[in-house]
Chain A
Amino acid sequence: MQRSLIDRLYSGVVGTITGFGMLLLLAPTLVVVVISFTGGITLKFPPPSWSLRWYVELLQSQEIIEPALTSLKVATAATILSAVLGGAAALGLARSKLKLARVLDALFMSPMVLPAMAFGLSLLLVFNLLGIRLSAATLVLGHTIICVPFVIRMVGASVQQLNPVLVTCSLSLGASHWYTFRRITLPLIRRGIVASCFVAFLTSFDNVPVSLFLADARTEVLPIKLWAILEGSLDVRVAAVSGVIVLLTLAGLVCAEIFGGVSRQIGSR
Chain B
Amino acid sequence: MTPASTTASRQLLPVVPLAALFFAAFVLPLAALVLVSLFRDPQFSGLSPVQYLRFLSDPFSLKVLTDTLWLGAEVALATLILAYPLALVYVASGQFLRTLITFLIMLPLLTSTVVRTFAWIVILGRDGIINSAMLSLGFWQAPARLLYSWEGMVLALTQIQLPLMALPVINSLLRLDGNLTRAAEGLGASRARIFLTVILPLTLPGAIAGWLLVFAAAATAFITQTLVGGGRIILMPSYIYQQAVGVQDWPFAAALSLIFTLAVTGIVFAIGALSRRFVRGVDAA
Expressed in whole angstroms, the minimum distance between the Cβ of A233 and any Cβ of chain B is: 11
Cβ of A100 < 8 Å from any Cβ of B? yes
Q: Interface on chain A toward B: helix, strand, loop, or mixed SS?
A: helix
> Are A231 and B227 in contact, CB atoms less than 8 angstroms apart?
yes
> Are A26 and B114 in contact, CB atoms less than 8 angstroms apart?
no
Chain A residues within an 8 Å CB radius of B15: 88-89, 92-93, 96, 101, 104
A93 to B244, CA, bound (A): 37
Interface size on A, residues (CB 8 A): 90
Chain B residues within an 8 Å CB radius of A13: 85
Chain B residues within an 8 Å CB radius of A266: 106, 109
Known A6-B190, A91-B14, A115-B264: A227·B82 in contact at CB below 8 Å: no
Cβ of B210 < 8 Å from any Cβ of A? no
A88 to B17, CA, bound (A): 9
Cβ of B282 < 8 Å from any Cβ of A? no
A206 to B17, CA, bound (A): 26
Q: Which of the 9-residue segments B27-35, B59-67, B201-209 touches chain A? A: B27-35
> Are B11 and A92 in contact, CB atoms less than 8 angstroms apart?
yes
Chain B residues within an 8 Å CB radius of A20: 82
A31 to B28, CA, bound (A): 44
Cβ of A17 < 8 Å from any Cβ of B? yes
> Are A126 and B17 in contact, CB atoms less than 8 angstroms apart?
no
Query: Between A and B, how many residue pairs show CB distances below 8 Å?
Result: 268
Per-residue contact bits, chain B 227-251, to A (CB 8 Å; 1 contact, 0 not): 1000000001100110011000010
**Which of B81, B89, B102, B109 has the most chain A CB atoms closer than 10 A to its own CB?**
B89
A114 to B253, CA, bound (A): 16
Expressed in whole angstroms, the minimum distance between the Cβ of A176 and any Cβ of chain B is: 16
Residue on B with the closest CB to A38?
A: B122
> Are B14 and A92 in contact, CB atoms less than 8 angstroms apart?
yes
Cβ of A85 < 8 Å from any Cβ of B? yes
Cβ of B274 < 8 Å from any Cβ of A? no
A238 to B257, CA, bound (A): 30
Q: Which of the 9-residue segments A50-58, A167-175, A208-216 touches chain B? A: A208-216
A144 to B112, CA, bound (A): 18
Chain B residues within an 8 Å CB radius of A110: 26
> Are B102 and A267 in contact, CB atoms less than 8 angstroms apart?
yes
**Chain B, range 1-50, C-beta contacts under 8 Å to A:** 8-9, 11-15, 17-19, 21-22, 25-30, 32-33, 36
> Are B226 and A231 in contact, CB atoms less than 8 angstroms apart?
yes
Cβ of A261 < 8 Å from any Cβ of B? no
> Are B18 and A7 in contact, CB atoms less than 8 angstroms apart?
no
A212 to B104, CA, bound (A): 30
> Are B129 and A31 in contact, CB atoms less than 8 angstroms apart?
yes
Chain A residues within an 8 Å CB radius of B104: 22, 25-26
Cβ of B132 < 8 Å from any Cβ of A? yes
A227 to B116, CA, bound (A): 12
> Are A121 and B253 in contact, CB atoms less than 8 angstroms apart?
yes
> Are A108 and B18 in contact, CB atoms less than 8 angstroms apart?
yes
> Are A223 and B265 in contact, CB atoms less than 8 angstroms apart?
no
> Are B254 and A208 in contact, CB atoms less than 8 angstroms apart?
no
Chain A residues within an 8 Å CB radius of B240: 117-118, 121
> Are B86 and A208 in contact, CB atoms less than 8 angstroms apart?
no
Known A43-B127, A96-B12, A266-B106: A226·B253 in contact at CB below 8 Å: no
Per-residue contact bits, chain A 99-120, to B (CB 8 Å; 1 contact, 0 not): 0110010011011011111110
Expressed in whole angstroms, the minimum distance between the Cβ of B207 and any Cβ of chain A is: 15
Given contacts A45-B129, A88-B14, 6 further A-B contacts (CB under 8 A): A18-B89, A28-B120, A32-B115, A45-B132, A98-B11, A117-B260
